[in-house]
Amino acid sequence: MRMTMEQASGVTSLLDELAGYGSTADGGVTRLLYSQSWKDAQSFLAAKMSAAGLEVRYDRVGNLFGRMEGSRKGQGVVLTGSHIDTVRSGGRYDGAYGIAASLAAVAFLRSAYGEPRRPLEVVSFCEEEGSRFPLAYWGSGNITGAYSTGMAQRVVDPQGITLAHAMQAAGFGREDQPECLRKDLAAFVEVHVEQGVILERTGGRIGVVETIAGQRRYVVTVKGETNHAGTTPMAMRRDAAAGAAEMIAMLERAANRAGEPLVATVGRMKLMPNIPNVIAGTVEFTLDIRHISETLLTGFSDAVIGSFHSVAERRGLELDVHAALQARPAPMDPVLTGRLEKICSDGGISYRRMMSGAGHDGQMFVNCCPTAMLFVPSKGGVSHSPEEYTAAEDLAYGVVVLAEMLYDLAYEETLT
């Protein structure tokens, strides 16, 4: 390996510094899109990129890039990085590690090998989590053309602020700022914490991602009749909570029957009026379903929603199912994936091919350029929590493998 573990260990202090921006009382980090802590974190990274000799620029939505120019004219760019935003009271690794690792790897390559053949850019995506606005991948989506800045007028946060307004208040969204869409990309590589327990349980240092699972997210609204819990006989009820409970129990059984890697989750639920002695008239819950096969994902989702309709009909409930998010499975580039495996294998680093159940910026790039993704272990699989943790050694292994991969892509002739 070109980079030593000691050289790679600097990633830890960079992460520590980054976690100071938006740190919360419970030990977590909150950096919502376009907030002050978000701006401060991007400014901190811009200074670090600049200090590493990279040419710094923001695009129109606030994606931050640090570029090392390539020696050959007209060569596509090798892009690497992750997202700077967090969930509320999230961990210090999710997103941030991918940026810190990319910066550490590129800074090392520049100091050790100087100018690459292809331009090499580190990116800090402005947004991925969908924590502030009901929209995820705002950064990578604008770069890859899935989104356009015009959408920002129609997206509103819980305080009623439009994405457009928040963007402008943070100093972005102006027509004189560089457009986001990139057509000059040769490859994208992202390193991220696994946010699951597979590497930990199997003893792998590196996860080589084959596919990012496709996802369906629905908002299900069950409407019955609000009534007094004491005076309404069981047989006269149209209880939305009892109906929702039957649906959720049914979903879990169906998911268990379908088997891995399908996962299905009801994570948010709201009863109305939500009073102990009142039968719930309305229940709204979310439904999150993921699988690596688009066909199986669609088949399962349709079957579950069909069974929800049967339950609602039998109980005299109204049912509305709103499709809130639909992401197709995103297969990583097989050449790049194979290259990552070879790097691990040659370096004697234990690795495992795996799918990603979580969504990542990487999935936005699969139709634009060859894309690869690697994971490092997450302690206990915990993520989106102050308890998120990855050991320093694992963080360094990720940097070492990433540096090797970026060398291959930008300095060698791996990409044709």
Q: Which residues are annotated as a binding site for allantoate?
A: 217, 277, 290
Residue 112 or 236: the one with the smaller Cβ distance to a copy of itself is 236
Backbone torsions φ then ψ of 359, nearest 5 degrees: -80, 150
Binding window for a copy of itself (CB under 8 A); candidates: 10-18, 69-77, 233-241, 297-305: 233-241
Residue 82 or 414: the one with the smaller Cβ distance to a copy of itself is 82
What gap in Å lies between CA 202 and CA 340, rounded to an integer?
Answer: 18
Cβ contact 383:28 at 8 Å: no
What gap in Å lies between CA 91 and CA 389, rounded to an integer?
Answer: 8
Is 241 a binding residue for a copy of itself by CB under 8 A? The answer is yes
Q: Which of residues 318-357 bind a copy of itself (CB under 8 A)?
A: 324, 356-357
C-alpha distances out from residue 104 to 45, 48, 401, Å: 12, 10, 12
SS3 label, residue 210:
strand
Tell me which of 74, 158, 203, 230 binds a copy of itself, using CB under 8 A: 230
The C-alpha angle 333, 335, 340, rounded to 5 degrees, equals 95
Question: Residue 324: which H helix or E strand, with range?
Answer: strand 318-327
Residue from 282, 286, 346, 345 nearest 319 by CA: 282
Tell me which of 74, 231, 348, 416 binds a copy of itself, using CB under 8 A: 231
Is 275 a binding residue for a copy of itself by CB under 8 A? The answer is yes
Is 288 a binding residue for a copy of itself by CB under 8 A? The answer is yes
Backbone torsions φ then ψ of 132, nearest 5 degrees: -95, -50
Q: Which of residues 372-401 bind a copy of itself (CB under 8 A)?
A: 381-385
Tell me which of 262, 317, 366, 372 binds a copy of itself, using CB under 8 A: 262
- Helix%, strand%, coil% for the chain, nearest 5: 40, 25, 40
Is 234 a binding residue for a copy of itself by CB under 8 A? The answer is yes
Report which residue type is found at 219: V
Please state the closest distance from residue 275 (CB atom) to a copy of itself, in A: 5
How many residues bind a copy of itself, per CB under 8 A?
62
Please state the closest distance from residue 67 (CB atom) to a copy of itself, in A: 32
C-alpha distances out from residue 143 to 46, 70, 86, 289, Å: 19, 20, 19, 26
Residue 337 or 383: the one with the smaller Cβ distance to a copy of itself is 383
Please state the closest distance from residue 201 (CB atom) to a copy of itself, in A: 9
Binding-site residues from annotation for Zn(2+): 83, 94, 129, 192, 384
Residue 205 or 384: the one with the smaller Cβ distance to a copy of itself is 384
Q: At what angle do helices 36-51 and 96-113 cross, to 10 degrees?
A: 10
Tell me which of 36, 43, 202, 256 binds a copy of itself, using CB under 8 A: 256
What gap in Å lies between CA 70 and CA 161, rounded to an integer?
Answer: 41
Is 217 a binding residue for a copy of itself by CB under 8 A? The answer is yes
Binding window for a copy of itself (CB under 8 A); candidates: 48-56, 66-74, 247-255, 294-302: 247-255
Is 158 a binding residue for a copy of itself by CB under 8 A? The answer is no
Tell me which of 156, 255, 321, 349 binds a copy of itself, using CB under 8 A: 255
Please state the closest distance from residue 287 (CB atom) to a copy of itself, in A: 8
Please state the closest distance from residue 122 (CB atom) to a copy of itself, in A: 25
Residue 70 or 357: the one with the smaller Cβ distance to a copy of itself is 357
Report which residue type is found at 364: M
Is 102 a binding residue for a copy of itself by CB under 8 A? The answer is no
Is 361 a binding residue for a copy of itself by CB under 8 A? The answer is no
Please state the closest distance from residue 367 (CB atom) to a copy of itself, in A: 21
Q: How many CA atoms lie within 13 A of 19 on its CB side?
A: 21
Report which residue type is found at 293: S
What gap in Å lies between CA 378 and CA 193, rounded to an integer?
Answer: 6
Query: Residue 118's Cα: distance from chain center in Å?
Result: 27
Cβ contact 42:62 at 8 Å: yes
Residue from 402, 378, 386, 415 nearest 196 by CA: 378
Query: Which residues contact a copy of itself (rule: CB under 8 A)?
Result: 87, 194-198, 213, 215, 217, 226-236, 239, 241-242, 244-246, 248-249, 252, 255-256, 260-269, 271, 274-280, 286, 288, 290, 324, 356-359, 381-385
